[in-house]
Amino acid sequence: MELHYISAEHLSIARVREIVEKHLHLALSDDARRRIVRCREYLDRKMENPERPIYGITTGFGSLCNISVGRDDLAALQKNLVMSHACGIGERVPAVVVRLILLLKIQSLAYGHSGVQLATVERLIDFFNNDILPVIYQQGSLGASGDLAPLAHMSLPLLGLGEVEYKGEVRDAAGVLSEMGWQPIELQSKEGLALLNGTQFMSAYGVWSLIEARKLSDWADAIGALSLEAFDGRIEPFCEEVHAVRPHKGQIATARNFRRLLEGSEMIVRPKQHVQDPYSFRCIPQVHGASKDTIDYVEQILTTEINSATDNPTVFPDEDMVVSAGNFHGQPIALAMDFLAVAVAELANISERRIYKLISGTRGLPSFLVAKPGLNSGFMIPQYAAASIVSQSKGLCMPASVDSIPSSQGQEDHVSMGSNAATKLYRVVDNTRRVLAVELFNAAQAFEFRRPLRTSPVLEGLLAAYRQHVPFIEDDTVMYPHIESSVEFLRHETAC
């Protein structure tokens, strides 16, 4: 089994994708082990003769920060924190996101600024490597004092509490720990706070959505190119000279990609009867390109976040400092995830307009893309479905990060709502995949009416691969299985 060593070195989004998709196992590097042990030993020494109260270590939490806790109760304080904060509600977090939460929490703790025991981090690694996934719920975090409620659910199984999903079943964590021969972790001072403070819930959703958004951006180009061919569109709006005089990086990249995708097409070079195309075709470089630029920007923000220590207090052994500050606040990524949701939703928004044009009965295509419209409704209702999904995504794109509801008796008086930004973003990504799948369904159908002309070798390859899963529709049939097959095609295949 290939290992990924957790260290203080840079963790890229590409590497995160590789770890998750290839199911790599984790191990701590020697440097990470030293950092964790050194920080814990420093904190233990600090606790022997504390000069003053230390937030969350010798005091209560939130607005209870002025209440001191005796040394004999410090372990109970941390356990109580985990239990009382496990207030997650709603749907379960998908397994792939739970794996990312574990990975990112391990990475953050490994920097040696959190004061956790080595055994605690190693147990999280055991969970990851054995696919023992804590049951976590989507609702409950304000995205400010870290993702308190969801990370409490992540932490319960360390203590033999809560539930995990293991081998396809949801089971009591205590039973799985016993089966593995593991004893529950006895939390030491600061550890509960280190586990619960942090942005790993929203970061995990953000990272996975970012990975999927980049895939969908590639698919939007490939499917848009096929739609352009099926609609008998023009190549001139994609020429290099146009974009050189408005040189946005994503715009240039999109136009270049379309020239590649359409190279060698018989369809694109044939004489056109129309002078220009609608915006949903003509402005693809500008719209898809803006989404590409947003994806690149958000990757920078999330890369910084996942390579950071985000709990509180932050421990600096070399400087003899324990600082209570605000690295758990999700504002930097909340704003970015709201922005990414808009960018991804726009890929669906313009896609739905292309779907509408393909079924409109213009440019030599039959109404609703069937040879005998009237008797057949054909592709009338897939466009309805796409429009419905696009409308939902527009509602989901209201920024979560503009809201704040004070908590903890006003001590935590500005929150990011980054967890809501993250879960909404995840839904927008899923929605966009579905709309693009409907466009592919339509574009593949429409191009068959252009035969015997051929599109480019690249797009002919896409059509051939797609036809292994979804047939040409001759007469009305039950459509939803074909739409679902199209969605799965986008989920599991790579764009050309």
Phi, psi of 138 (to 5 degrees): -75, -25
Domain harbouring 273, CATH code: 1.20.200.10
Q: What is the pTM of this model?
A: 0.95
Residues 132 and 243 in one domain: no
> CA torsion sign, 417 to 419 to 423 to 426?
positive
Residue 413 vs residue 171, higher pLDDT: 171
Domain end marker among 145, 178, 198: 198
Residues 228 and 159 in one domain: no
**Which residues on adjacent β-strands are paired with residue 68?**
59
Residues 35 and 92 in one domain: yes
CA angle 328, 120, 61 (to 5 degrees): 40
pLDDT at 60: 54
Residues 146 and 288 in one domain: no
- Tens of pLDDT along 263-287? 999 999 999 999 999 999 999 999 9
Rounded Cα–Cα distance for residues 127 and 177 (Å)? 10
Contact status, residue 443 vs residue 230, Cβ threshold 8 Å? yes
Q: What is the mean pLDDT of residues 348-371?
A: 96
Q: Which residues contact 19 (CB under 8 A, 6 or more apart)?
A: 4, 26, 103
Phi, psi of 119 (to 5 degrees): -60, -35
Domain harbouring 98, CATH code: 1.10.275.10
Residues 48 and 180 in one domain: yes
- Tens of pLDDT along 392-444? 999 999 999 999 998 888 788 899 999 999 999 999 999 999 999 999 999 99
pLDDT grade for 67, boundaries at 50, 70 and 90: low
The β-bridge relationship of strands 25-28 and 3-6 is parallel
Alpha helices in 160-283 (DSSP H): 173-180, 191-196, 200-230, 240-244, 249-262, 266-269, 279-282
Rounded Cα–Cα distance for residues 16 and 241 (Å)? 37
- Tens of pLDDT along 22-63? 999 999 999 999 999 999 999 888 877 766 666 656 665 554
pLDDT grade for 70, boundaries at 50, 70 and 90: low
**Which residues on adjacent β-strands are paired with residue 231?**
none
Neighbours of 444 (CB within 10 A): 24
426 noted as active-site residue: no
Find the helix or strand (DSSP H, E) in which 125 lies: helix 118-129
- Tens of pLDDT along 287-323? 999 999 999 999 999 999 999 999 989 999 999 898 9
Catalytic residue among 42, 55, 111, 205: 55
Residues 216 and 149 in one domain: no
Residues 350 and 374 in one domain: yes
- Residue ranges making up the domain that contains 184: 3-198
Q: Which residues contact 37 (CB under 8 A, 6 or more apart)?
A: 118
Domain count, the chain: 2
**Which residues on adjacent β-strands are paired with residue 208?**
none
pLDDT at 71: 63
